[in-house]
A = this chain, B = another copy of it.
Amino acid sequence: MAVKPDHEFGFHRTRKKTLAVRRSALQSGPAKAPAGQRVSSRGTTREMVDTAVRTGLLTGRFVPGKPVTIRGLAAEIGVSPMPVREVLQRLAAENALEVKPNGRVQVPDMTPARFDEVLKARLLLEPELAELALPHLFGDAAGELKAIDDDIDACLHSGDAESYMRLNHAFHFRIYRASRSKVLLPLIDSLWLQFAPFMRTVYGRVGTAILEDRHKEAIRAIELNDTQALRAAIKADILDGMGFLGREILSDGPTG
C-alpha cells in the first residue's frame, strides 16, 4: 500500500469556507467556517458525504478488500465521524459495503456466485426499467444520450477507466431515471454499487480498449420508440460488459 494517497477524494471540504454549515462557529470541530452561507438548511453534510462515497464507489476509488475506517474517511473529507458513520450504515444496508463481524467495514470481494447473481438481477430488472422509462424519453433525451456516448467513446480510446465508468453510469441512469421509478431504480442502484468496484479492478488490469457498448443501438431504439429493441440493446449491453468481466473473474479466482 506504500504511501497513503492524500487526495483519494477530489472532495476535500474546503476547510476555509464550507459549502453548508449550521454550527454557530463557536465550536472547535474539524469543519470550521465563520459565516458559511448554506444552500439547503437541513442535513447537507450527510448528503455531501453520501454522494462523495457513492461516486467514489461507482468510479472505483475504493479497492475491494481494503478496510474503510470511519475516522479515516471523516478526516479525508474533513467532517466529524458522525455523518460518516450514518453514510456507511446506509451503504452497508444497500450491500455496497460489508460490515465484518468485528465491525470493520470494507468493499465486499466479488465471488463467482455473487457475480452470477448480480448479472441475473441486472438482466431481469434493467430491461424492465428501460421499458418503463421509454415513454418519458422524448425531446432532447436521445441527444443527451448521444453526447454522453460520444464522451464514452473518447474515454475508451484514451483508456481513462474512471471517466468511462462515470459516464457509463450516467448513460444508463439517464435512461432509468426517466422512469421516475421509486422502487426498481433503487434496486438497480444497489446492484451497480455492488459490481462497480470490482469492475474497476478488472479495467485496471486489462484496460478498456476491448470494450464495445451497445449504446448506439439503445439510442436508436429510443428514437424509434421501439420497446423490444431497447430491451434487447440493454440486455446485450449488460451481457457484453459483464460477460467480459465474468471471464476475468473465472480465470483469476475471487478478486485478489
Over the window 152-196 of chain A, the binary record of Cβ atoms lying under 8 Å from chain B Cβ atoms (1 yes, 0 no) is 000000000000000000000000000011111011001100100
Distance in angstroms from A194 CB to nearest chain B CB is 7
CB of A117 within 8 A of CB of B191, answer: no
Q: How far is the CA of A43 from the CA of B92 in the complex (A)?
A: 14
CB of B187 within 8 A of CB of A121, answer: yes
Q: How far is the CA of A235 from the CA of B120 in the complex (A)?
A: 18
Stoichiometry, as copies per complex, reads 2
- With an 8 A cutoff between CB atoms, is A248 at the interface? no
CB of A92 within 8 A of CB of B95, answer: no
**A181 proximity list for chain B (CB < 8 A):** 117
Distance in angstroms from A176 CB to nearest chain B CB is 12
Distance in angstroms from A246 CB to nearest chain B CB is 14
CB of B95 within 8 A of CB of A183, answer: yes
- With an 8 A cutoff between CB atoms, is A118 at the interface? yes
Known: A93-B90, A103-B42, A124-B124. A114 touches B183 (CB 8 A): yes
Q: Who on chain B is nearest to A182 by CB?
A: B114
CB of A42 within 8 A of CB of B101, answer: yes
**A42 proximity list for chain B (CB < 8 A):** 101-103
- With an 8 A cutoff between CB atoms, is A128 at the interface? yes
Interface hits, A86-108 → B, CB 8 Å? 86, 89-95, 101-103
Q: How far is the CA of A90 from the CA of B89 in the complex (A)?
A: 6
CB of A182 within 8 A of CB of B95, answer: yes
Distance in angstroms from A39 CB to nearest chain B CB is 13
- With an 8 A cutoff between CB atoms, is A13 at the interface? no
Partner of A121, one of B92, B103, B184, B191: B184
- With an 8 A cutoff between CB atoms, is A85 at the interface? yes
CB of B118 within 8 A of CB of A183, answer: yes
A interface residues (Cβ-Cβ under 8 A, vs B): 42-43, 85-86, 89-95, 101-103, 113-114, 117-118, 120-121, 124-125, 128, 180-184, 186-187, 190-191, 194
A89-B93, A114-B182 given. 4 additional CB < 8 A pairs? A42-B102, A121-B183, A125-B125, A186-B190
